[in-house]
Amino acid sequence: MSGLTNQWIKRIAGSSKPAYLLIPDLIEEAVSSGQLRARDRLPALRDLAEALQLNYTTVARGYGEARKRGLIDSKTGSGTYVRGRPQSVPLRAGTAAEMTMNMPPEPPSMTARLRESMISALAASDPYTLMRYQDFGGTPADRSIAAAWLRRLVPASKAETVLITPGIHSALVALLSQLSGPDQVICVDTLAYPGVKAIAAQFNIRLQALSDDEDGPLPYAFELLCKTQRPAALYCNPTIQNPSTRTVSQTRREQLAEIALRYSVPIIEDDAYGMLPESTPDTFAALAPELTYYVTGMSKCFGAGLRIAFIHAPTPRQAQRLAGALRATTVMASPVNTLLTTSWIKDGTVDAMLKAIREENTARQIIAREVLNGRDYDADLEGFHLWLRLPPGNEWRPSELALHLRSRGIGAVSSAAFSTDGNPPDAIRVCLGGPSERDEVEDSLRIINDTIDDPHHLHSALL
């Protein structure tokens, strides 16, 4: 807990939010990132007050707020424990939907093709080759095929600059460990992928949120940090951002790229959702190729279990440096997953799957538009999640609403999991890709709709 306490001290010192309200936010963030788990024991009030350099009453109020949100429990003689993320109610086929993880839908029209091409690829392979150690970062042949596929968004992509990794998260671990270090600053959105927060905490890297608007992070905010704090990198998720669904505009990308070039700040472009739209603004890798590390993968545009991602580095030399970091943290990507991905890129299955997912996403977003008519939410028609804001004056807190929805077998993620500035908005992320059928999407959205309008659930959820 000591490492977590040190992080909390920095967050409290750098936030204008009252500490008693920030404490439950920090607990929820730690649960979301896996730093705290269900049944973990929290420090006694006096111990935490001393560690955080706060008075006893402030910490007591903070624990009280966390208890109201359903985050912690206390028992006389046993102390205070994390409740954690409750298990979703076991699902029965066709009756409910799991929306906790952000995953693409599974188009039924692709099932036969996937099965047949998988069998064909495996049948044509030497099983012992698949069970041996592989080249770190992928074989030249696999990297060449990956580079050709990436070239639609990354013009400079070639085999020598591309590495294959076991998922985007692993790629980000390698990148953050290479580009930054303890107490260095990485610029991020005010809302960001929780995995980046967890990685930064592990490496004691400071995340500095940039003010933004509907077009993306504000250029003057980025330039001010470049002048005053010399950031180690700019991390961005510019297309169908998780969780806000925002796509950074072409003009804003050009402005941010120009500033990064002027101050020589590397860019980590997490383009997990970048292959979903039929057309997008230019990537940062196209606008600032000498500075941008471009990352994308299969988990968000093909299937969550296909843990394969690609890093395009600015130069072959920088790719080799990253290969060393990957070797230290992950050794190699699964040869079977790499084989399937390469085969599916070569035979056109990946592009066919993208088209089918895109069409299914659009159908589900149209359902959401009808069910949530009048609600304040953001979505991209070609994406598979939405960002739902709670009505002003609503009695629900995002964490309480997410907790209650999970108790009904519907997953939702509270804004606190994504917040990087200690001021999470009153909103939740809902994934539309998890349900197997469209009618399950509609049923689950109607439950969410009704729950928001019926605050008596708020009290029953906390009994």
> How far apart are alpha carbons 207 and 200 in whole angstroms?
7
- Nearest to residue 71, comparing CAs of 17, 30, 16? 30
| pLDDT score at 219 | 98
Q: Is the pLDDT of residue 455 over 80?
A: no
Which tens digits make up the pLDDT trace of 224-270?
999 999 999 999 999 999 999 999 999 999 999 999 999 999 999 99
State the average pLDDT for the chain. 90
pLDDT at 335: 95
User: Cα–Cα–Cα angle for 106, 387, 186, nearest 5°?
Assistant: 100
Q: Name which CATH class applies to 351-460.
A: alpha beta
Other C-beta atoms closer than 10 Å to the C-beta of 204 total 15
* Nearest partner of 401 among 74, 152, 411, 328, judged by Cα: 411
- CA 143 – CA 140 distance, rounded (Å): 5
**CA-to-CA separations, 18 to 65, 87, 136, in angstroms, rounded:** 12, 31, 48
Q: What is the largest CA-CA distance in the chain?
A: 68
211 token code pair = 């003010």
- 64, two tokens: 């009280």
The average pLDDT across 35-48 equals 86
Q: Of the given ranges (77-86, 130-139, 328-337), which has the lowest mean pLDDT?
A: 77-86
Look up the CATH number of domain 125-347. Answer: 3.40.640.10
Instruction: Report the predicted TM-score, pTM, of the whole model to 2 decimal places.
Output: 0.82
Task: Report the candidate in 264, 299, 295, 257 with the shortest Cα–Cα distance to residue 154.
Answer: 295
Count how many Cα atoms sit within 13 Å of the Cα of residue 230 in the half-sphere of its side chain.
4
Where in the chain are the domains?
Answer: 2-82, 125-347, 351-460
CA 17 vs. chain centroid, Å, equals: 24
How remote is the C-alpha of 330 from its chain's centroid?
20
Contact 349, 113 (CB under 8 A): yes
CA distance 288 to 256: 10
* Residue 29 and residue 197 in contact, taking contact as beta carbons nearer than 8 Å: yes
Give the fold, CATH level 3, of 2-82.
Arc Repressor Mutant, subunit A (1.10.10)
Angle, vertex CA 174, rays to CA 252 and CA 135, nearest 5: 120
